[in-house]
């Protein structure tokens, strides 16, 4: 009998952002979809990248509403690459100005999910885009 490994998702809030409601809703939806969720709350980019590698995650989901997204998120992506985890899907949710989204994608973010995005869309995106190993 073979058992398929669950998709592993790390959810974090880079920096000092205290807005947790959205990430909690997403966490529950991912678990209900059969994914293993590791929620670490507020962490530095270094801590997020380290946990992602230690936990061998498929996805890093970053929730940010506090403003320093152009500094913190690219740093997480850079650190993942430095740790040979460039195959990890990096997703971002939160309130980010539309003109900053292309900058984040250029820095290595795979997709952005803003306010009002259905959890179904997030689940489907992960299921369709995580590289199967």
In order along its 133 residues, the chain shows pLDDT tens digits of 445 789 999 999 998 777 778 889 999 999 999 999 999 999 999 999 999 999 999 999 999 987 889 999 999 999 999 999 999 999 999 999 999 999 999 999 999 999 999 999 999 999 999 975 4
Q: What's the pTM?
A: 0.92
Buried b (16+ CB within 10 A) or exposed e, 25-59: ebbebbeebebebbbeeebbbeebbebbbeeebbb
Domain count, the chain: 1
Kindly report, residue by residue over 44-75, the tens digit of the pLDDT: 999 999 999 999 999 999 999 878 899 999 99
Asked if residue 14 belongs to a domain, the reply is yes
Asked if residue 3 belongs to a domain, the reply is no
Strands (E), the chain: 8-14, 36-43, 59-64, 89-94, 111-113
Asked if residue 1 belongs to a domain, the reply is no
Say if CB 17 and CB 65 are below 8 A apart: yes
CATH number at residue 107: 3.40.50.280
Asked if residue 15 belongs to a domain, the reply is yes
Asked if residue 31 belongs to a domain, the reply is yes
Asked if residue 105 belongs to a domain, the reply is yes
Residue-number span of the structural domain to which 22 is assigned: 8-128
Which pLDDT does position 131 carry in this prediction?
73
């Amino acid at each position: 009998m073979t058992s398929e490994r669950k998709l592993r998702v790390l959810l974090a809030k880079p920096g000092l952002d205290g807005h947790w409601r959205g990430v909690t809703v997403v966490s529950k939806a991912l678990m209900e979809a059969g994914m293993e969720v590791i929620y670490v709350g507020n962490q530095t980019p270094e801590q997020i990248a380290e946990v992602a590698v230690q936990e061998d995650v498929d996805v890093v989901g970053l929730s940010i509403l506090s403003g320093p997204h152009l500094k913190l998120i690219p740093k997480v992506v850079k650190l993942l690459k430095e740790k040979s985890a460039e195959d990890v899907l990096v997703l971002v949710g939160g309130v980010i100005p539309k003109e900053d989204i292309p900058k984040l994608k250029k820095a290595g973010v795979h997709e952005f999910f803003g306010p009002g995005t259905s959890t179904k869309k997030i689940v489907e995106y992960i299921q369709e885009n995580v590289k199967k190993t």
